[in-house]
Amino acid sequence: MRYRIRWIFAVVIVLPLLLAACGGRSADDGTSTAPATVVQVPGTDVNRITLTPEAAARIDIRTAPVRAEAGAGHRTVIPYAAVLYSPSGQAWTYVNEKSLTFVRYRIAIDRIEGRHAILSSGPSPGTKVATVGVSELFGTETDVGE
């Protein structure tokens, strides 16, 4: 009889506590906002990605300016970390259009020198390009991963 009272106590007191603990909000309850919005750029096959401040902090997004190469020609230089190769082998970089907004931009690489890519075509000097979080931007744009 004593054991039966303990089991009844456990069912009546402990079970509701366990069920209440399971009744919390889930991450997918519709109240959370997406970490990024992705909108196709009209007339192109690329998308404009706008990150939330939280998403940008989470992936530690960083940028660097495109700079003009000293010497002959009109070549530009970007950090090699800003270069992304698509599955087809095409070289791209993500241009930072405005705060937390990025667009993939096709580039042509003349050569790689250490940590820098010398471009034969690409964004104008002074334009900011993503150097950290590049693969996350690509995954967001192409809907790869979570």
Nearest C-alpha neighbor of 137 from the set 44, 43, 65, 56: 56
Segment 19-44, tens digit of pLDDT: 455 544 444 555 558 899 999 999 99
User: Residue 4 — very low, low, confident or very high, per pLDDT cuts 50/70/90?
Assistant: low
Q: What is the CATH number of the domain that holds 105?
A: 2.40.420.20
Which pTM was predicted?
0.75
Segment 48-60, tens digit of pLDDT: 999 999 999 999 9
**47 found inside a domain:** yes
Mark residue 27 as left, alpha or beta (left: phi above 0; alpha: psi -120 to 50; beta: remaining): alpha
User: What's the number of domains the chain is made of?
Assistant: 1
**15 found inside a domain:** no
Range of the domain at 135: 27-142
**13 found inside a domain:** no
**17 found inside a domain:** no
